[in-house]
Structure 1
Amino acid sequence: MHPPPDGEGLHEPLPRPLERMLRLAVLAHVEAERRRRHPAVVHVGHPGGHEVVFACTADDPVDLGVRTDVLLALLARVPRLEHGPEHGPELLVWVTRPGELSTQDDDACWVAATRAAAGELGRPVEMVLVGRHGWRDPRSGLSRTWKRLRSRSG
């Protein structure tokens, strides 16, 4: 899949710290969520570090304004990291959910809300979808998958 013309989203080559951060998000999801069917959860922060979450329910509003407000509240609770882009994103939004990581309508709504919240705050924010076997950037299509992901620490 080719990146969108505006270059939005993640692209190769990924900085090693970002690759580790995304792998850690998948690993944490695999270790924390044992159910095969579960609601989507929006995470904001740094996998393996400080993060805040919003657990979605079936009757949550799909309104862009409400989702943007949710993300603004979550983003406000995460400390700003001072480092260069070679170390990965300042903030990451990742949505954990069951199923394949092809972009669904709900994912597109979270992408739009993330874009709106980041623009309102003037903070760079990356967003990915995370499942049991990998991650995918719904904007650029860049992804990584693993057959059996295990912790590297013994």
Structure 2
Amino acid sequence: MDHKLSIRKMIKEDIEQVYQIELLSFSAPWSKESLLYELEQNLFAKYIVVESEGKIIGYCGLWVIMEDAQITNIAVHPDYRGLNIGESLLKFAVQLSKEMKAKRITLEVRVSNHVAQSLYKKVGFVTGGIRKRYYTDNQEDALIMWVNLE
């Protein structure tokens, strides 16, 4: 990819593009209202976007509560997958969590999503358990993955 990428804090004007990535990425996408709430009302939430030539091509949501961080969602537009953008976003989220004094970071991932699991393992996450029937759209189990930040 020849385009210059930048990662920055998400702003309200990004919601529409982020929502479009949600629709293209998840079988049970978050609503625009949920994304806006996270951005403007949830004091624990931090959202970042990756941008190329003025276009949002990926994003990541993060909650940091005391010493614990939680990746709420992470997605890259299908046209830009396989270019290490997800890895850059995830590493940025890990660094942001460290800066906010989190000692560990967790996430849930579908047991069938081996591509995402590989990415998380590459960044240092390990499997810590299973949440049975976690996903509401099809009752699929989720792996709980985490990494210590200290």
TM-score range, shorter chain: 0.3 to 0.5
Q: Of Structure 1 and Structure 2, which has the larger fraction of its residues in strand?
A: 2
- TM-score (structure 2 length as normaliser): 0.34
Higher relative contact order (CA 8 A, sep 6+): 1
